[in-house]
Amino acid sequence: MGKCVEDFVEGEVAVSPSRTVTETDVVMYSWISGDTNPMHTDSVYAAASPLGARIAHGTLGMSIVTGLSARIGDFDGTAIAAIGVYDWVFLAPIYINDTVHLRATVRSATVSQSKPDRGVVERLMELVNQDDVVVQRGIMKTMTYSRAGLQASRS
């Protein structure tokens, strides 16, 4: 079971397991998103670019962040909704076969005054590659149950 809003501590850091970004990930994401930019789909074009090789889509990186966050398990059975992504920046490319992990730092966790059955957790999300380079960073806010709200939802 995941955490309720009161269980999160400001400054607390959670680190996910690692995951390798594969060619299959990039090809499938190109198909799903419709983004067939040659930096993602054409190895000859990408080799001649300043980056020198194909890269993952920036938004694929963001999607991987949400999956790695789920693997941490902090919101298993307690999340109500994702409510925002803020100040997201793409700091370095994610290359095919890079291995990444998520470092999530709690910035705040507040029970709602108007609806005390829930609250909002704000976390700084950093996607980090195998060389310990932060490739993406931003803030994600999640609405989650309070302890009272979770207990009421089970009644």
The domain limits of the chain are 5-21+56-153
- pLDDT tens-place string over residues 2-55: 999 999 999 999 999 999 999 999 999 999 999 999 999 999 999 999 999 999
Do 19 and 68 meet the contact criterion of CB atoms below 8 Å apart?
A: yes
Q: What is the pTM of this model?
A: 0.94
Q: Which CATH architecture fits 5-21+56-153?
A: Roll (3.10)
- Which two tokens mark 141? 């806010």
pLDDT for residue 118 is more than 90: yes
Q: What is d(CA 36, CA 42) in angstroms, rounded to the nearest whole number?
A: 9
**How distant, in Å, are the alpha carbons of 28, 84, 132, 150, 153 from that of 77?**
28, 19, 31, 9, 11
- pLDDT tens-place string over residues 43-76: 999 999 999 999 999 999 999 999 999 999 999 9
Pairing of strands 19-20, 118-128: unpaired
Q: Report, as an integer, the average pLDDT of 113-140.
A: 97
